[in-house]
Amino acid sequence: MFTTKNLDRVLNEVRGLHNKSIFSPKKSILAYRLSKMSSQYRGNAIERMIRDYYKSTGKIVSYIGGSASFDMMVNGRKVEVKSALARVGVVGGVVKYSYKFQHICPNNFHKLVLVFVSPEGLSVRVMDSRTAAKYLGSKRAHRNLYVGKRIVGKVLAA
């Protein structure tokens, strides 16, 4: 009775059907694909990408993941990986991205890897637990880290 052609004809009439996304395959296919995933699925994929990166640099990696208090051991150090999608905002006519990294407890890790997923691609930064505690205002409590204009931490490099 009905086909996808029928649906396509009426979709333009339905308001609010499509949320415009700042992510596009033309800007970065990797970021676009990650943006289409659920946050849990995306987090698991990014953790494994970071694991593979560390392995490729010759480090000894033991991946834990799941509900553990940290994600992996890298050369005997506890590493936590957090990722956040860019959220767009306009300030004074200028488009700016902000990021919200959730549920961070510096007491549970030695190194924190932050993966910023922007429409242009991924940016990866790393910091120790003391620096993370400074930004969060607590070492033992689980907090959210809101980052706007300034991206924190050192660039993750080989």
Q: What is the pLDDT of residue 158?
A: 45
Task: Choose the weakest-confidence range: 80-89, 129-138, 143-152.
Answer: 143-152
| pTM, two decimal places | 0.84
Going by C-alpha positions, the residue among 155, 75, 146, 78 that lies closest to residue 123 is 155
Q: What percent of the chain has pLDDT over 70?
A: 92
Q: Give the model confidence (pLDDT) of 92-127 as tens digits.
A: 888 889 999 999 999 999 999 999 999 999 999 999
- Mean pLDDT for 69-91 is 94
Contact between residue 116 and residue 86 where contact means Cβ atoms under 8 Å apart: yes
Q: Which residue ranges form the domains of the chain, and what is each CATH number?
A: 21-155 (3.40.1350)
Q: Give the model confidence (pLDDT) of 9-21 as tens digits.
A: 777 777 655 567 8
